[in-house]
Amino acid sequence: MRLVRQNDKKSAKCAGVGRRAERSGGAVKHVRGAGPTSGARAALTVLAVTALASGCTEAAVRGAHGQQPLKGPQARALDEYDTKSRASYAQRAAAAKRWGLEKVPLVAPPPPAKKPVITFRKGFEVRNGDGLPPVFTTVPTANRVVFLTVDDGAEKDPAFLRMMSDLKIPYTAFLSDYLVKEDYGYFRRMRDLGVTLNNHTLHHPYLPGLSYEEQRQEICGMQDVMRKQFGRSPTVFRPPYGNYNGDTLRAARSCGIKYAPIWNEEVFVDHWEYRELDHGLHPGDIVLTHFRGRSEWKGTMPDMIRRFLKKVTGEGYAVARLEDYL
């Protein structure tokens, strides 16, 4: 990957500085092989400082008559950044090749310093919903990023953990206890890899069919499990099937929940499904998938990730961490 250090205007400007340095040096008279006179050295110094102040790189600022390029902290910093960028890309390219990806996944920009304001998606509100956890399908951002979320916990594929760690692709898990209790250790390893584990109820019921107290037990009960097994009670909750009512959100709030994201697209091992009619990705979209394998899919979780990244990377998006925007 070639690091572009300055724009074209600055490059032209830097070239001009270099030429002026050469012309100045050409007018210097040399005595017995000595370097430039003190006046010429002063002129070169002024030109070099001017070049650095205008953002010119080491390569663009040349001394007269074959003198060595200007050295300095800025030039060294740029070279160091260039080296690290090349090494990082090489690592990501090698990982992409190992996992059979057609393209190297793009890197997400840094998390926003100021978090976006999250509100209910229009049409997804509930009556008297002020102060309740908002239900949303997209995070408001101009960045070309999407967020991958994985639900329930049925499939516990070690290759999935290796793949996501190797590729450095962030994702968020929403767990239901009736499935994850078979192997809490798998999800602890996931947590230790930097994945945020969130609440998806104890038994994955259709929540609107339950009373307020029953819903509260499903949500708060899972909070207790999360705290005991994984060390923290999350503030993010996804209602099973994306179904909820006012009682769902009031119960969730009473259990410490602040956000209730659902999704805008869902990816499977062999196809995508979309909420929007344009069948495209949008900045800030939340993508759903599930912990599934060959018992229910025609493939594995790594196969699903390959399909996911093919579209995401192909449309010029990077995968970001949902919690960084909340």
CATH architecture of structural domain 106-325: Alpha-Beta Barrel (3.20)
pLDDT in tens, 116-167: 999 999 999 999 999 999 999 999 999 999 999 999 999 999 999 999 999 9
pTM: 0.77
pLDDT at 204 over 60: yes
Tokens 């210097």, residue located = 28
The span from the CA of 59 to the CA of 69, in Å, is 6
CATH 3.20.20.370 residue window(s) in the chain? 106-325
Q: What percent of the chain has pLDDT over 90?
A: 73
pLDDT in tens, 23-45: 444 443 333 333 444 444 444 44
- Residue environment code for 150-173, b if the CB has 16+ CB neighbours within 10 A, otherwise e: bbbbbbbbeebbebbeebebbbbb
3-state class of 172 per DSSP?
A: strand
- Phi/psi at 201 (5° precision): 80, 165
Tokens 């029953």, residue located = 214
pLDDT computed for residue 22 by the predictor: 39
Q: Is 319 within 8 Å of 145 (Cβ atoms)?
A: yes
